[in-house]
Amino acid sequence: MQQTRIDQGTAYWHKFKDRWPNIQALAEADLSDVLKAWQGLGYYSRARNLHHAANIIAFDLDGAFPENAETWRTIPGVGPYTAAAISSICFEEVIPAVDGNVIRVISRFLGIHSPIDRPEGRQELEAFAENWISPQYPGDHNQAVMELGALVCTPRKPDCGACPLNEACLSRINTPGETPEPPIKLGKTTVRDVVLDFHVIVTDHKVWMRQRPAPGIWAGLFEFPSNIHPGERIERDRRTHFPPEPPWKSLISLGALGDPFHHLLSHRKMHVQFWLWKGSLSQGYGEGEWTDWNCAEELALPRVLERSWKDVKNSALLQIR
DNA sequence: TATGCGTGGGC
DNA sequence: TGCCCAAGCAT
C-alpha cells in the first residue's frame, strides 16, 4: 500500500490473501494473474516487485522471511520505510518507520520549516525519529505515530485538542487554530500534457493486443498499440504518423469515441483518443497478438482502458461489419 | 539528487 | 477544475 490509501487497498489485500494464502502460492502464480489482480490499484511495479519478492523468499531463502531491516532492504520493492515497518512490528527491531504520516507529525511537533524533501529538513526529522523510537516497544511506537498522523494530526484541520503531544507541539503553539504550515515540500510534481493515441486494430472477431514494455507507464499491462507524445492537441494528420507502414488497412470512424477525453495521472494530463483500424488475421502489427475480445478482457488493463472498454468494443464490433 | 510511477478522495 | 495527498521505491 505504498503511496496508497488503506481504504483503496484493503479490498485488494483481501483478494490477494484469499487467492494466494502463502508465499509459496504467490511465488508460483503467473505474473499476469498477479497483475490482473492488481488491476486498478496503480503503481504496477509494486505487483511485479511483490511477485519477484515472493520468489526470492520462497525459493532462494527456502521460505524463510528476513527478520531484520538490513536484509529486508535487499528484497525488491522494499525501501527504508517498509523494511523498518516490517522489522519493528514483526521482529521488534528498534528502527523508526518514517512514512508520510510520521513526517507530518514530527515536522509539526518540531516546527520544521525547512523543506522535508531536502537533506537538511530530512536529516532533522530522521535524527528526532531515531531518538524518539521506543527501545521497548518499537513496533507499537511506529504504529502509534502513524495512527496519530492518520487520525489526529491530519493534513488539513488536525484535531489538536485530541493530540497527546499538543502541549509541546511547536506548530500548534505558533499557529493555533489553523492548519499548521509544516510539512513544507519543495519538489512539486509538474503535470505535463501528453497525447495518448490508442490504435484499435480489429477483424470480425479479434483485436490486436500488446503487452506494455518495462520500464515505463503501465509496464506489464495490456493495451491496444499506442503512442504517447508531448502536447495537448490532436493533430489532424495523426493517421499519417501511425501506422508507420502498411499492412495497415483502413481507418474507420469511431464516432463519439473519436473525440479526445482526459485521463489524469499524478504527473500527466493525458488527452486520449482511439483510432479504429481494420486488420488482417494473416498479418502482424508489431509486438502483440490477435486476441478474442472476451480473452482480452481477462488481461490486466490500465484503468483508462477498463473504463472505456465496453464503448470501444461495441463501437468496434458495430463499425467492422 | 530529481524524476517517473496510478488512482481516487477531499476540498 | 485544480491542487494536495495517500502504510514509497527504483533509477
- Give the DSSP per-residue string, A171-205: HHHHSTTS---PSP---PPP-EEEEEEEEEEE-SS
- Give the DSSP per-residue string, A71-122: HHTTSTT--HHHHHHHHHHHH--------HHHHHHHHHHHT--S-TTSHHHH
Euclidean distance between CA atoms A229 and A270, whole angstroms: 10
Q: Give the pLDDT of residue A5.
A: 92
Under 8 Å between Cβ of A190 and A265: no
Å between CA of A144 and C1' of B11: 27
Which grid cell sits at A102? Answer: 510520521
Number of neighbouring beta carbons within 10 Å of residue A264: 10
User: Could you tell me the end-to-end alpha-carbon distance of chain A, in angstroms, rounded to an integer?
Assistant: 45
Euclidean distance between CA atoms A76 and A78, whole angstroms: 6
Q: Give the pLDDT of residue A249.
A: 47
Å between CA of A270 and C1' of C1: 15
What positions of strand B are covered by protein, i.e. any atom < 7 Å from a CB? 1-9, 11
- Of all nucleotides in the shown strands, which has a C1' nearest the CA of A219? B5
Å between CA of A47 and C1' of B7: 15
Under 8 Å between Cβ of A197 and A273: yes
Tens digits of pLDDT across chain A (321 residues): 999 999 999 999 999 999 999 999 999 999 999 999 999 999 999 999 999 999 999 999 999 999 999 999 999 999 999 999 999 999 999 999 999 999 999 999 999 999 998 888 999 999 999 999 999 999 999 999 999 999 999 999 899 999 999 999 999 998 877 778 899 988 778 899 999 989 899 998 999 999 999 999 999 999 999 989 888 877 655 554 555 444 444 555 554 556 788 999 999 999 998 888 888 899 888 899 999 999 999 999 999 999 999 988 988 888 877
- Of all nucleotides in the shown strands, which has a C1' nearest the CA of A307? B7
Q: What dihedral angle (degrees, nearest 10) is formed by the CA atoms of A141, A147, A148, A153?
A: 150
Q: Give the pLDDT of residue A246.
A: 42
Å between CA of A82 and C1' of C10: 14
In chain A the domains, ranked by start, together with CATH numbers, are 6-174 (1.10.340.30), 192-320 (3.90.79.10)
